[in-house]
């Protein structure tokens, strides 16, 4: 199935805009606010152990975190992604595997970075160990199911495990960052006994795609707000565990054309070891988001959203743009996959349960409607795009020439 939009087309539309951060977005913290500027691994870890509140890393720096995992509390790590075209400093690890620092403590443990109260990461690139994985012919970044017995497959998967960050406090912010190459999660939020509600915004998350995992944001417990971000090439871009206290708010985000499965997901507890419990999260809100796909990388029909049970509160899907064509209302396909519809509710039989949808736009070929979907027009990359300096100069010269004539 040929993609209606390509990742290159989406990035072209996003260039110079706020969504995804970078050029077009100006964070409210920068290198000028830093108490200390670091450029090497030793300087970086020394600053983490100091009294510095804001640690700045120049955009040309590359810091290898391999062999380490660490916690930040009450500190901000900042670089200059988007300033004068900078891509931001690169923080990266080559660690992977269930005994590595990138998987410290296992599925309920930490990642490379544990973020606690008063911490923030802004304007950096944070790269995992699988940013250059090329085994799969359909999509090079996808880590497919291995061959062999179930135990052999499990061992192979465990050798790949890696998590970028674990967020364990409400007062945490991740913004203006590029997160990629994480086979399990770029970020995991909360824990079974810890519900937290951090703020994630202006993030570009991509190439986190492993069978059975592959998330940019994985919400174990709590209710993060995720805004103005671009996600592409994931298994699920945003996922939830299923606790009644587990949910999220997605606003003004774009989900790109490369996906292995639906982009927005909420498990039910029965799928995570709570036998027979079909609770699938508390409250989930998806507003003004754009889903730029109808098919998976395998060419099969693929929904944008799947919630896998009953909400303890409700599901809200308002004013989104789906490329899936819908003729009036449509029935919930429930556990029957591969249906060419924008969303489904699983494990509930027929009908919709606690699901409220209004104002959504469906199908391709229609003009982008203002206020529907993210503030981006995939049909016209220049629609509403701020002029860059050279364009402004050309426009000004043209206006002056007109006046002089």
| Structure confidence at residue 336 (pLDDT) | 84
pLDDT in tens, 15-72: 999 999 999 999 999 999 999 999 999 999 999 999 999 999 999 999 999 999 999 9
| Structure confidence at residue 301 (pLDDT) | 94
Question: Using CA of residue 71, residue 77, residue 229, residue 91, what is the dihedral sign?
Answer: negative
pLDDT of 389 higher than 60? no
The DSSP string of 105-140 is TGGGS--SEEE-TTEEEES-EEE-TTTT----SS-T
121-146 CB burial, b ≥16 within 10 A, e <16: bbbbbbbbbbbebeeeeebebbbeee
Cβ proximity of 229 and 289 under 8 Å: no
Backbone angles phi, psi at 106, to 5 degrees: 80, -160
Confidence of residue 122 (pLDDT cuts 50, 70, 90): very high
Kindly report the average pLDDT of the chain as a whole number.
92
- End-to-end alpha carbon distance in the chain: 53
pLDDT of 1 higher than 50? no
User: Token pair for residue 95?
Assistant: 């660690």
Lowest mean pLDDT among 233-247, 345-359, 376-390: 376-390
As a CATH number, domain 7-404 is 2.160.20
| Structure confidence at residue 135 (pLDDT) | 81
Report the alpha-carbon angle 245-246-250, nearest 5: 130
Lowest mean pLDDT among 219-233, 339-353, 391-405: 391-405
Confidence of residue 394 (pLDDT cuts 50, 70, 90): low
pLDDT of 303 higher than 50? yes
pLDDT in tens, 35-46: 999 999 999 999
User: Token pair for residue 119?
Assistant: 């911490």
Rounded to two decimals, what is the model's pTM? 0.93
pLDDT of 255 higher than 90? yes
Cβ proximity of 363 and 326 under 8 Å: yes
- Indicate the SS3 state at residue 156: helix
pLDDT of 236 higher than 90? yes
User: Token pair for residue 243?
Assistant: 């606790």
Cβ proximity of 303 and 262 under 8 Å: yes
| Structure confidence at residue 329 (pLDDT) | 84
Chain position carrying tokens 């449509």: 330
Cβ proximity of 7 and 234 under 8 Å: no
How far apart, in whole angstroms, are the C-alpha atoms of residue 369 and residue 321?
Answer: 9
Beta bridge partners of 43: none
pLDDT in tens, 323-380: 999 887 899 999 888 899 999 999 999 899 999 999 999 998 667 778 899 999 888 8
User: Token pair for residue 23?
Assistant: 């050029």
pLDDT of 224 higher than 70? yes
How far apart, in whole angstroms, are the C-alpha atoms of residue 117 and residue 178?
Answer: 22
Chain position carrying tokens 């973020």: 115
| Structure confidence at residue 108 (pLDDT) | 79
pLDDT of 251 higher than 90? yes
Query: Percent of the chain scored above 90 by pLDDT?
Result: 79
CB atoms within 10 A of CB 147: 8
What 144-147 contacts at long range (C-beta under 8 Å, 24+ apart), as own/partner pairs, is 144/211, 145/211, 145/212
pLDDT in tens, 75-107: 999 999 999 999 999 999 999 999 999 998 887
Closest CA to 342 of 370, 283, 374, 301: 301
Element (DSSP H or E) covering residue 392: helix 389-404
| Structure confidence at residue 202 (pLDDT) | 98
| Structure confidence at residue 400 (pLDDT) | 46
User: Token pair for residue 115?
Assistant: 């973020």
Query: Percent of the chain scored above 70 by pLDDT?
Result: 93
Question: What are the extents of the domains in the chain?
Answer: 7-404
CB atoms within 10 A of CB 69: 22
């Amino acid at each position: 199935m040929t993609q209606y939009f390509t990742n290159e087309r989406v990035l072209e539309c996003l260039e110079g805009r706020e969504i995804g951060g970078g050029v077009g977005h100006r964070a409210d913290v920068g290198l000028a606010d830093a108490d200390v500027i670091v450029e090497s691994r030793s300087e970086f870890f020394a600053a983490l152990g100091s009294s510095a509140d804001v640690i700045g890393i120049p955009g040309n720096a590359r810091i290898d975190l391999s062999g380490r995992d660490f916690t930040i509390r009450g500190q901000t790590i900042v670089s200059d992604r988007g300033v004068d075209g900078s891509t931001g400093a690169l923080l990266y690890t080559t660690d992977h595997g269930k005994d590595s620092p990138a998987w410290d403590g296992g599925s309920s443990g930490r990642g490379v970075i544990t973020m606690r109260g008063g911490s923030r990461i802004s304007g950096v690139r944070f790269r995992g160990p699988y940013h250059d994985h090329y085994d799969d012919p359909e999509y090079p970044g996808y880590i497919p199911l291995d061959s062999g017995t179930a135990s052999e497959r499990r061992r192979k998967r465990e050798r790949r495990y890696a998590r970028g960050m674990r967020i364990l406090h409400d007062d945490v912010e991740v913004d203006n960052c590029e997160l990629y190459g994480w086979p399990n999660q770029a970020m995991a939020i909360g824990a079974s006994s810890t519900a937290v509600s951090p703020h994630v915004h202006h993030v570009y998350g991509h190439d986190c795609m492993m069978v059975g995992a592959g998330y940019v944001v994985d919400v174990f417990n709590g209710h993060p707000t995720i805004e103005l971000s671009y996600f592409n090439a994931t298994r699920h871009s945003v996922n939830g565990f299923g606790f009644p206290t587990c949910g999220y708010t997605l606003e003004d985000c774009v989900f790109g054309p490369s996906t292995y499965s639906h982009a927005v997901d909420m498990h039910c507890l029965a799928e995570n070891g709570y036998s027979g419990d079909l609770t699938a999260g508390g409250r989930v809100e998806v507003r003004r988001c754009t889903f730029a796909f109808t098919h998976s990388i395998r060419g099969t029909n693929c929904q944008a959203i799947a919630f896998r049970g009953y909400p303890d509160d409700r599901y809200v899907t308002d004013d989104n743009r789906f490329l899936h064509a819908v003729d009036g209302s449509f029935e919930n396909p429930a556990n029957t996959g591969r249906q060419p519809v924008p969303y489904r509710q699983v494990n509930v039989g027929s009908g919709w349960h606690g699901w409220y949808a209004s104002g959504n736009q469906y199908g391709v070929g229609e003009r982008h409607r203002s206020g529907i979907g993210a503030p981006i027009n995939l049909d016209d990359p220049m629609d509403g795009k701020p002029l860059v300096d050279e364009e402004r100069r050309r426009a000004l010269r043209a206006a002056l020439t007109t006046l002089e004539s």
